[in-house]
Each structure stands twice: as C-alpha cells, then as structure tokens.
Structure 1
Amino acid sequence: MADRTSSSITIKAAKADVMAVIADLDAYPEWAGGVRFEVTETGDDGRARGARMSLEGGPISDTVGLAYTWDGDDGVRWELVEPGTMVSGLRGAYTLSGTGPGETEVTYELAVDVRIPMIGMIKRKGEKRIIDSALKGLKRHVER
C-alpha cells in the first residue's frame, strides 16, 4: 500500500469543533454517504479506539475492522485490523491545522487495497472521489 491519495479543504470553524464531528463516528451517515460505523472499543478520552466500518453502495460494499490513533484535535489515523471480503488493506488520516481565527484546514489521506485486480489510476480516482465527498460533506455539516 505505497500509494495514497490526499486532498484538503478549509472549514470556517475551530479545530476542536471540526474534530468533534470527525470523532462522532455514529453520526457519519448524516454527512458522509455510504458509510456506517459500529464502535467496538473506546479510549479514556471517549473516542473510538476500534470500530467496524460498513461501506455501502458504489463499486465496493464491505465491512472491515479499523484501529484508531488520535492526536488530540490535531488529527486521527486509522488502519485496517480486520479485512473484509473485498477490502484487503486500508489506511487513512485526517490532519487538522488552524489557518486563521475560526478557520481550519482539513487534510484527508487515504490508501485502499482491494482483493480484485485494479489499475492504479482507477483505484486512485476512486479514493479521490471518496475523499472529496467526505471533505465536502464534513464542511457542509460543520458550517451549517
């Protein structure tokens, strides 16, 4: 999983407010289409340490297990710990940085491996679509 795709967006909100939305895995269906979470382990800070993610719709429908590492309100990383039927590798991160008063730049990185052969360009295009959709949904949800 050497290749990864990333994109950034600026949201008119403080880092803590943006991270609160990202950390609320149960609310993802409200702003991130096609994904649901079931938190399986919670840390002392109340944030997910482990979760099962279900991808619904699109070319890939699957359920996988993820482990999370949080860096306060500066970011979160996740990695695959339980492969699914189609998804054999997954690594991602949200990184947040303050860009000014009440503004946060959010960078989303994603690398996905699937069990079916796929041309790298097509895989990256799929990752880009997932990232762009998530960032736009996050922005709409936080700024409303």
Structure 2
Amino acid sequence: MADRTSSSVTIRSGKAEIMAVIADLESYPAWASGIREFTVQETGADGRAERARLTFDGGPFGDTVGLAYEWVGDDHVRWDLVEKGSVVSGLHGSYTLKPAGDGTEVTYELAVDVRVPMIGMVKRKGEKRIIDSALKGLKRHVEG
C-alpha cells in the first residue's frame, strides 16, 4: 500500500474544534457522504476511539471493515484496517491539522486496497473522490 492520495482544505476554526468533530466517529453519517454507520468498539483513556467498525456505500459497492486508531492530541490521527471486509483488503488513512492564518489546514491522506483488480489510476481517482467529499463535508459541518 505504498501509493497514497492526499488533499488539504483550510477550515475557519481551531484544531481542537475540528479534531473533536473528526473524533466523533458515530456522527459521521450526518456529514460524511457514503458513511452509513460507525460504531466505536473500544476507547482509550482520552475517550477517543481505539477500535471501530465502519459501514459505507462506495458507489458501486459497500462494505463493513474494522479500524484501529492512533491519536496525537489535536494534531494528527491515523487509522489502519484490522478487520478486512468483503471488498476492502487494505486501508490506511490519516488527518493532520496545522494552524493556517485564522484557521486550520486539514490534510487527509488515504490508501485503499480492494480484492478486485483495479488500475492504479482508477484507484487513486476513487481515493481522491472519497477524500474531497470528506473534506468538503467536514468543512461544511465545522463552519456551518
């Protein structure tokens, strides 16, 4: 899973407020298109998810996968696949937050592997669509 896709957006809010929205996994279906359900299975001492199950509809297919999370304050979160789905066989993602003027630059990085053969360019285009949709939804949710 060496190839990763990333994109960034600036949100007019502080890191803590944005990371609080990102950390509220179970609310994703309200603002992140394609997410049907997020269930937190284990939390850490800080109350943030360490393990969760995600159910999504990704256009031509949907799946349910298990994810493990690592949080670095309000600066960074990364997640990795720990339970494969029927379609998704590998997944790594992260959000990185950095101050930017009167707001925060949010960078989302994603790499997804699926069980069906897929040309790299098509895979990256799909990742880009997921990332851009998530960043737009996050920005709209935080700023709205």
TM-score by length of 1: 0.97
Correspondence for 2:54: 53
Deviation at 1:57, TM superposition (A): 4.4
Q: Supply the distance in 1 between the matched residues of 2:92 and 2:38 (Cα, whole angstroms).
A: 16
Give the 3-state SS of the residue equivalent to 1:105 in structure 2: strand
**2-structure distance, mates of 1:93, 1:143:** 21
**Identity among equivalent pairs (%):** 72
What letter is aligned with 1:95?
Answer: T
- Following TM superposition, by how much is the alpha carbon of 1:34 offset from its aligned partner in structure 2, in angstroms? 1.3
**1:50-107 deviation digits (Å, cap 9, x = unpaired):** 0001112412300000000000000100000000000000000000001123x00000
- Structure 2 residue aligned with 1:95: 96
1:80 is matched by which residue type in structure 2?
L
* SS state at 2:116 partner: coil
**Hey, what does 1:19 align to over in structure 2?**
19
Query: 1:58-69, aligned counterparts within 5 Å?
Result: 58-69=59-70
Q: Which amino acid aligns with 1:88?
A: S
Matched, 1:31 2:31: yes
Q: 1:57 to 1:7 in 2, by over 3 A?
A: closer
1:115 is aligned to 115
Structure 1 residue aligned with 2:44:
43
Distance 1:59 1:124 in 2: 16
Report the 3-state secondary structure (helix = DSSP H, G, I; strand = E; otherwise coil) of the residue aligned with 2:136.
helix
TM-score scaled by length of structure 2: 0.97
In structure 2, stretches of 5+ residues that fail to align are: none
Task: Give distance in 1, aligned partners of 2:72 and 2:101.
Answer: 20
Q: Say which SS state the counterpart of residue 33 (structure 1) adopts.
A: coil
Helix, strand or coil at the partner of 2:19: helix
Counterpart amino acid of residue 104 in structure 2: T
Q: Which amino acid aligns with 1:58?
A: G
Comparing 34-43 with 123-132, greater Cα deviation is found at: 34-43
Q: Show structure 1 runs of 4+ deviating over 3 A.
A: none
Q: Aligned to 2:125, what secondary structure does the other structure show?
A: helix
Alignment gaps of 5+ in structure 1? none
Deviations 1:3-59 (A, max 9, x none): 000000000000000000000001101110111211000001000000001112412
**Cα RMSD between the aligned structures?**
0.7
Aligned residue pairs total 143
